[in-house]
Amino acid sequence: MRKAWLWVALGAVVFVIAGAAFSVGRMAAMPQQSPKVEVKPPTKEERELQKLKIAASEGKLVEATPTPQGWVVRFEQEAEELSKKSLAEQAQKFFSDLARSEVEVARTSFEAKSSSLKDVWGNTLKDVPVARVELSQETFKRINWKGFSPDNFSRVADELWVHEIIERIEEQKKQQSQQQGGQGGSQQGGGSGQGQG
């Protein structure tokens, strides 16, 4: 009788092992299916925000707020040079990139900052605003950015501000060039004579 139970138990073990091997074989033969991932397409707002980020890639997108009239977009960038011409060109480039994004703009502004200015004690100042140009929706739409001259911001911008330090720097450069222009010949001759002595 013991042998019968032993044979029954042994048969059960073989049956379980064979069943497991069969199941493993079937799973290995089945094509592997990767889990399904549902990808939602981006919303219109998400697509527009991405376009604004691309337009602002050379600086910092400080604000991008959707409104029923369009986006309120504020942008900051480090001033490349402390001159009105350079600052106006930087503003024109940003606004032109923004227009190319074809996103509806309710209001937008460009602000240039500088970390090259010093206080009266000689300490370097960080992120000092040196210029700002703000445009309403109407003004932004009206400008043909492909043919617009940055010199005309003073005539068309809804708000235009330039730090007084820019005025002073440009006045100093103007005075220096006038002095060098009037004394150019005598300074060159005198300077070379002194260097040799």
- How does pLDDT run across 95-126, given as a tens digit for each residue? 999 999 999 999 999 999 999 888 889 898 89
Quote the mean pLDDT of the chain.
Answer: 84
Position 37 confidence tier, pLDDT thresholds 50, 70, 90: confident
The arithmetic mean of pLDDT across residues 154-158, rounded, is 96
CA dist 11 → 3, 8, 21, 85, 128 (Å): 12, 5, 15, 94, 87
The arithmetic mean of pLDDT across residues 78-85, rounded, is 92
What pLDDT, on the 0 to 100 scale, is given for residue 169?
85
The arithmetic mean of pLDDT across residues 55-74, rounded, is 95
Contact of 161 with 132, CB cutoff 8 Å:
yes
d(CA 153, CA 164): 17
d(CA 155, CA 142): 13
Does pLDDT of 156 surpass 90?
yes
> Any residues with CB less than 8 A from the CB of 141 and at least 6 apart, and which?
105
pTM for the full predicted model: 0.70
What pLDDT, on the 0 to 100 scale, is given for residue 161?
95
Does pLDDT of 190 surpass 60?
no
Tokens read off for 7: 């044979």
Tokens read off for 123: 């300490």
What pLDDT, on the 0 to 100 scale, is given for residue 134?
98
The arithmetic mean of pLDDT across residues 133-146, rounded, is 96
List, for residues 161-186, the tens digit of each pLDDT value. Answer: 999 988 888 888 888 888 887 665 44
